[in-house]
Amino acid sequence: MTINQIIGNKEKTSRIDTELWKKMNVKYSGIETKTEEKTNPIETPQETIEQKIKYVNNTPKLELKILEKTAVNTRTQKEYDNLIQIYDSGEWSLAFENEKNIIKTNSNRWKSYKSTTCIDAGKMSHIDTKVGYYNKKYYQNNKNNWKIISFNDFCKKQGIKPDTIKELNQYYDKNYPNRDSKGLKK
């Protein structure tokens, strides 16, 4: 449907995507439209809202969106540490980790695959809050139709700004300065 159809072709207007039209609260020539928002935890191509950290019991919390069939390539130890901090704050953890690890930053899987380390950008359906990790080649060869995105692209899709990462770093550096995910242990 176009604006012209809605307003009865009173004047020439450009075609607007119906979904965009529905999301706007539009008043034109006495016509008003309003729709209810759908909530979907899976990534949608619409604009991303900036993430703000919420603290629950003095612990940072983020609301992460599942990015279906997507893996994040952490090219450096620092990117890996930052991603694990984000996942920990979003209550996601790596699959195959020891359940005794209360803090997810108590492991360093980056040392296994180094710059080719990729981590799922969404929970594994059969393991609830866990995410898988492999090397980049595994995702390319065994995960049909999966996208591999950079850490920066993941942050953009999640609405995570550099200030949020800095705040997480400050929290984890203060509370867990010797965490394994930082790569301090050889």
Shared domain for 28 and 100, answered yes or no, is no
Question: One-letter amino acid identity for 96?
Answer: F
pLDDT value for 132: 83
Q: Which domain holds residue 29?
A: 3-33
Tokens of 120: 């799922």
**pLDDT over 70, % of the chain:** 65
Residue 17 has pLDDT above 50, yes or no: no
Give per-residue pLDDT as tens, 132-172: 889 999 999 998 889 999 999 999 999 999 999 999 999 99
Shared domain for 86 and 10, answered yes or no, is no
Residue 102 has pLDDT above 70, yes or no: no
Widest distance between CA atoms in the chain: 72
Q: Mean pLDDT over residues 106-129, rounded? A: 81
The total of structural domains in the chain comes to: 2
Residue corresponding to tokens 């995910």: 181
Q: How far is CA 24 from CA 16, 32, 34, 137, 171, in A?
A: 11, 10, 7, 43, 39
Shared domain for 66 and 13, answered yes or no, is no
d(CA 61, CA 94): 17
Does 47 map to a domain?
no
Find, among 178, 72, 163, 48, the residue nearest to 122 by Cα. 72
Least confident of 64-68, 82-86, 120-124, 146-150: 120-124
Buried b (16+ CB within 10 A) or exposed e, 160-172: beeebbebbeebb
| 54 DSSP 8-state letter | E
Mean of per-residue pLDDT scores for the chain: 75
The vertex-123 CA angle with 121 and 125, nearest 5°, equals 135
Shared domain for 74 and 106, answered yes or no, is yes
Residue 182's φ and ψ, nearest 5 degrees, are: -75, -15
Shared domain for 58 and 103, answered yes or no, is yes
